[in-house]
Amino acid sequence: MRHFSASALVLSRSPYGERDLIVRLFTPDAGRITLMAKSALGSRRRFSGVLEPFHLLSITCRAGKNRLPLLTEAGIIETHGGLRKNALAAACAGCWADMISRTLAEEQPAAGIYVLFRQLLFLAADPAFHSADKLAGLHIAFGLKLLDHLGLRPNLTECRSCRRKFSDIADHRAGLASGAGGAVCAECGGKAGEARGDKGVLGLMNWLLNAEADALGHVSMEFSRFSLMDEFIDGLLTQHIGRPLKSRILAYHFFQDESAKMQRLPALRHPHRRQPGYRR
């Protein structure tokens, strides 16, 4: 990697030895990059309080003697401090960062996802969004738009099996089937495996998939709909990656607990989270 300067969002960090940090960043032009921050742990002056998850930074780096490039300078542009005041918002942000780390290749530009991630972090840090119904819309929108970027955009306007358009089907019976890679009508649902939902769920998902980030703040979503959509996205991502993401399971349980508090009902484990071969 050549010497360059850029803005970057911190995805994660991990210690390397007693003094150094390995920092994973997301930039608008270079995509996801991994840098070595020398003496970041051994000095109070060098990078102190800067290399925290979800911080938006101005960075400068250069090629290192070993495999990883070196982070030479870093300054804070935005901390998104509101994320640290709400556990659900922090869980969502951590999940989005993990999804980026697990699905996007190193040093492959993904400017659209960078802009989306930056905008959603800004919204999720706002106390006005610190409720499960508001954060649910942001969480589903990020998952759908990431699938679209990965070439896994689900077809939500017609049946995946028989190709009939849902607008031509009189009743509201339709469902999501990750095994089919999209939505299916009631007649084809049995062929593609268990499919749940209705045309209202499909319409909302299609709107979230195509909406600009600044419009997502107007969405409020009940947990029953969120659960259906999240399960569908989880199924497609699991097929793509080869295993479920723990960060998505954690975020789901945060949403589940918040919903139970709002409804004053006991939280129940969702059956789709008991995936074969998954070990906690």
pLDDT tens-place string over residues 165-216? 877 766 556 778 777 778 888 777 655 445 667 778 888 999 999 999 889 8
Where helices occur in the chain by DSSP H, the ranges are: 87-103, 111-124, 132-149, 186-189, 199-210, 223-241, 246-263
What pTM did the predictor assign? Answer: 0.88
pLDDT of residue 280: 35
Topology at the third CATH level for domain 131-273: de novo design (two linked rop proteins) (1.20.1440)
Give the span between the Cα atoms of 52 and 137, in whole angstroms.
25
Exposed e or buried b for every residue in 12-31, given b needs 16+ CB within 10 A?
Answer: bbeebeeebbbbbbbbbebb
What is the spatial distance between Cα 14 and Cα 160, in angstroms, rounded to a whole number? 43
Q: Give per-residue pLDDT as tens, 99-133.
A: 999 999 999 999 999 999 999 999 999 999 999 99
* Mean pLDDT rounded to a whole number for the chain: 86
- Residue intervals of the chain classified under CATH 1.20.1440 are 131-273
DSSP H/E element including 175 = strand 173-177
Residue intervals of the chain classified under CATH 2.40.50.140 are 4-81
Q: Give the CATH number of domain 4-81.
A: 2.40.50.140
CA dihedral 40, 42, 46, 50 (to 10 degrees): 50
Distance in angstroms (rounded) separating the CA atoms of residues 183 and 196: 9
